[in-house]
Homo-oligomer: A and B are copies of this chain.
Amino acid sequence: MEPGQTSRAVAFEGDLRVIDRARPVPGADEALIRLRLGGICNTDLELIQGYKNFSGVLGHEFVGDVYEGPADWMGRRVVGEINVSCGVCDMCRRDMSTHCRQRRILGMLNYDGAFADYFRLVVRNLHPVPEAIPDEAAVFAEPLAAACQILESAHLRPSDRVIMLGAGKLGMLGAQVLRLTGCDLAVVVRRAQQADLLTRWGIPAVERSALPDGQADVVVDCTGDASGFSDALALVRPRGTVVLKSTYTGIPQADLTRVVVQEVRVVGSRCGPMETVLRLLEQRLVDVEPLIEARYTLDEARHALEHAARPGAMKILLGP
């Protein structure tokens, strides 16, 4: 293989390794993208713990340059949606392509990921990044879209009392998006560092014990554990809404009787609208760069993932 024709990739096949592989050849509907920056998500950490029996190249948060593909995309700086849909199933035809019945998922399901010098993605998933957005902000496009999906999943009114549970990477992005609705927002934190960041954005950081039960119009659970759901049910008012943003370990217990008696609305929420995110970032309505904790190269991927797994760690980036 000629020099320049190989590409490093962070692969997991029972264990984590940085491999050299031939530069992927894009299919007819795909572009080849050269990585500028990748971001490590909690899902990456779960995948290398065995979640979904994942095997392949990791990475679904990225900003990169189109290196091969349709002429009008060549050289453009892009971010991308991670669900690779079939376009023909009932979900795709009903404009719910993130729920495509045959979907593949970048770096998660039957589609090699973005933690590589070069990687493929279908062109229809790409979004050009406006010049005003630096790489260090654009790399947040995917998780910030997931945060925006909270507002697609539930109608938050400007007068609502809203509580965010969990002030990790996703909770911090969610809190910033929720703030834009003008709602009366409080974020439940466990660490001083989290409170400091929130204070910088003018968002009240509180302890769980300071909040009265049964008063919040909307509670968003970004904790990812069953106690988060039970806290959410306790905090929400009758006929209020609980938005679930993160996946749970195993099958947790849930007080469904309380859901019935209080007529609570529980809404799951996953991937979100990327065009929205690019508008928010371009207009500087969301401030993501303070969430960056460290930056590693692809060669240092193992250290990067170990760092990301530390309790309380914020965003860890991977660059070429």
Task: Please report the C-alpha to C-alpha distance between residue A257 and residue B52 in the assembled complex, in whole angstroms.
Answer: 13
Contact with B along A91-109 (1 / 0, CB 8 A): 1000010010100000000
Tally of chain A residues near chain B (CB < 8 A): 36
Known A-B contacts A260-B269, A263-B269; A251 and B253 likewise in contact (beta carbons under 8 Å):
yes
Q: Is the CB of B254 within 8 A of A256?
A: yes
Q: Is the CB of A262 within 8 A of B99?
A: yes
Q: Which residues of B contact A263 (CB under 8 A)?
A: 99, 153, 267-270
Q: Is the CB of A266 within 8 A of B269?
A: no
Q: Is the CB of A256 within 8 A of B252?
A: yes
Q: A247 on the interface (CB 8 Å rule)? A: yes
Copies of this subunit = 2
Min CB distance A94 to B, Å, is 9
Q: Which residues of B contact A206 (CB under 8 A)?
A: none
Q: Which residues of B contact A262 (CB under 8 A)?
A: 99, 268
Task: Please report the C-alpha to C-alpha distance between residue A267 and residue B236 in the assembled complex, in whole angstroms.
Answer: 13
Task: Please report the C-alpha to C-alpha distance between residue A255 and residue B263 in the assembled complex, in whole angstroms.
Answer: 19
Q: Which residues of B contact A254 (CB under 8 A)?
A: 251-254, 256
Which segment, of A10-18, A175-183, A238-246, faces chain B?
A238-246
Q: Is the CB of B239 within 8 A of A248?
A: no
Q: A264 on the interface (CB 8 Å rule)? A: yes
Q: Which residues of B contact A62 (CB under 8 A)?
A: none
**A91 nearest CB neighbor, chain B only:** B238
Q: A302 on the interface (CB 8 Å rule)? A: no
Known A-B contacts A251-B253, A251-B254; A260 and B239 likewise in contact (beta carbons under 8 Å):
no
The 6 closest A-B pairs by CB, nearest first: A99-B238, A254-B254, A259-B268, A260-B268, A266-B266, A247-B257
